[in-house]
Amino acid sequence: MLFESWLDRIGSWADHDALVHYLIAPMIASEPERAKTVFRWAKSANRWHRCAACVALIRGARGKMFFPEIKKLSNSLLADEDDMVQKGLGWLLRETAKFDAKRTIPYLMKIRGRAPRLVLRTACETLPLATRKRLLAAHIRRK
């Protein structure tokens, strides 16, 4: 797809947001079959491609779309050590939790012991305080 070639032009977080969040994500949400492309991006050596894999699903997550894809993508990127990828994944999970807490909170509870703290903290930002504390408790015990 044409928009995949645009990913190579990303050089900063600002470029990334402008392209992926405001252009590519709505294109994927409008034609859900495009969501499968994010799994290819998630395997890229390029940090911006891996981050884009997450952010490209945010618009759909806000419409309660792509939950199985979000879980699969999250599982594949949880071990990624790049902070930009972790921020993108945390953002995706935060938006998913905002719009589909019923399915997202149990998933977050399941991954909390192996998720990077940045991912988990970002994912929990808008959750109720008690839920946030319960989710983050796994990281406090791991120190």
pLDDT confidence of residue 2: 64
Rg (CA), the chain: 14
Q: How far apart are the first and last CA of the chain?
A: 44
> Measured between alpha carbons, how far is residue 52 from residues 25, 90, 93, 101, 127 in Å?
9, 12, 14, 23, 24
Counting the structural domains of the chain, the total is 1
Contacts of 85 by beta carbon, 8 Å cutoff, 6+ apart: 47, 50, 51, 54, 77
Mean pLDDT (whole number) for 9-32: 89
Cα 35 to Cα 33: distance, rounded to the nearest angstrom: 5
Q: For residue 89, what are the domain limits?
A: 2-142
For 113-138, what is the HEC assignment? CCCCHHHHHHHHCCCCHHHHHHHHHH
Mean pLDDT (whole number) for 11-34: 90
**Residue 35, pLDDT above cutoff 50:** yes
Mean pLDDT (whole number) for 32-54: 96
pLDDT confidence of residue 140: 53
Mean pLDDT (whole number) for 62-71: 97
φ, ψ at 125 (rounded to 5°): -50, -40
The pLDDT tens digits for 77-107 are 999 999 999 999 999 999 999 999 999 999 9
The pTM (predicted TM-score) of the whole model is 0.92
The CATH number covering residue 26 comes to 1.25.10.90
Cα 9 to Cα 11: distance, rounded to the nearest angstrom: 6
Residue of higher predicted confidence among 12 and 74: 74
Give the chain's mean pLDDT: 92
